[in-house]
C-alpha cells in the first residue's frame, strides 16, 4: 500500500509538471506563428453578415490577405484594401479590431497586454479564452483553438456584441518578402486610390 501511495504521488507530481498554462501554450504558438521569416495559411472568416475564404501571408504584424473579391495589404502601420466590386483601393490606419478581423494571427501579440487567460482541452486541442481587462478595448474576448503542435486551428473574437469566427487550415512556415505586405499600384491597374487616413 505504501508503494502504491509513493507511485501515485510521483505520478501526480509528473502530471503537474507537464501541465501547461494558457500563457505557455500561447507563447509556444506565437513562436511558431511569429517566426521571423513568416508563414502562410488558408482561412474562412464568418460574421453575422456572411462568410469569406481566402489565403493569408504573415510576417510579424504584417499581413497580406486575398479572397478573390478583395485584397488587403498591411505593412504594420498602413492598410491598403482593394475591392473587386468597386475597383477602389482604400488606404487606412486600422484599429486593433480591424486588424484582427483580417489577420487571425494578431493574437500572437495581443494576449501579452491586458488580457486574462484560461484554458481547457477541447478534443485533442487546447482552447484558450482571453478576456480584456480594460472594457474599452475594441476586442473584448477571444477563444483561440490550438492544436497539440501549437498551430492555431480557429479564432473566435467579440468586438462589442458582434462575433467573428475564423477557421484556419494549411498553415505553413514560408519565408515572406517584405514587399508582399505593401500595395503596389501595378497589382490593381486602373483602380481608384482613396486615402482615408
Residue with cell 497589382: 187
Q: Which of 156, 165, 169, 183 is nearest to 52 (CA)?
A: 165
The model carries a pTM of: 0.77
Q: What are the φ/ψ torsions at residue 191 (nearest 5 degrees)?
A: -70, 145
Q: Which of 153, 139, 167, 138 is nearest to 51 (CA)?
A: 167
Q: Which of 80, 118, 116 is nearest to 98 (CA)?
A: 80
Q: Strand 88-92 to strand 79-83: parallel, antiparallel, or no bridges (unpaired)?
A: antiparallel
Per-residue pLDDT of the chain (197 residues; tens, 9 = 90+): 555 445 544 444 443 334 689 999 999 998 888 888 999 999 998 988 889 999 999 998 899 999 989 999 999 899 999 999 999 999 999 877 677 666 656 666 678 888 999 999 999 999 999 999 988 887 889 999 999 999 999 999 888 889 989 899 999 989 999 999 999 999 889 999 999 99
Sign of torsion over alpha carbons 74, 75, 79, 81: negative
Amino acid at each position: 500500500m505504501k508503494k502504491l501511495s509513493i507511485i501515485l504521488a510521483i505520478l501526480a507530481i509528473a502530471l503537474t509538471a507537464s501541465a501547461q498554462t494558457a500563457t505557455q501554450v500561447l507563447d509556444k504558438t506565437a513562436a511558431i506563428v511569429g517566426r521571423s521569416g513568416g508563414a502562410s495559411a488558408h482561412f474562412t472568416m464568418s460574421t453575422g453578415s456572411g462568410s469569406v475564404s481566402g489565403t493569408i501571408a504573415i510576417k510579424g504584424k504584417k499581413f497580406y490577405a486575398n479572397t478573390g473579391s478583395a485584397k488587403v495589404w498591411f505593412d504594420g502601420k498602413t492598410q491598403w484594401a482593394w475591392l473587386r466590386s468597386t475597383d477602389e483601393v482604400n488606404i487606412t490606419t486600422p484599429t486593433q479590431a480591424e486588424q484582427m478581423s483580417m489577420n487571425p494571427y494578431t493574437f500572437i501579440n495581443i494576449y501579452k497586454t491586458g488580457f486574462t487567460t484560461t484554458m481547457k482541452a477541447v478534443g485533442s486541442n487546447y482552447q484558450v479564452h482571453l478576456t480584456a481587462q480594460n472594457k474599452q478595448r475594441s476586442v473584448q474576448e477571444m477563444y483561440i483553438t490550438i492544436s497539440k503542435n501549437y498551430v492555431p486551428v480557429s479564432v473566435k473574437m467579440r468586438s462589442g456584441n458582434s462575433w467573428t469566427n475564423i477557421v484556419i487550415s494549411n498553415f505553413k512556415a514560408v519565408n515572406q518578402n517584405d514587399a508582399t505586405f505593401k500595395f503596389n499600384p501595378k497589382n490593381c491597374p486602373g483602380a481608384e486610390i482613396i486615402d482615408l487616413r
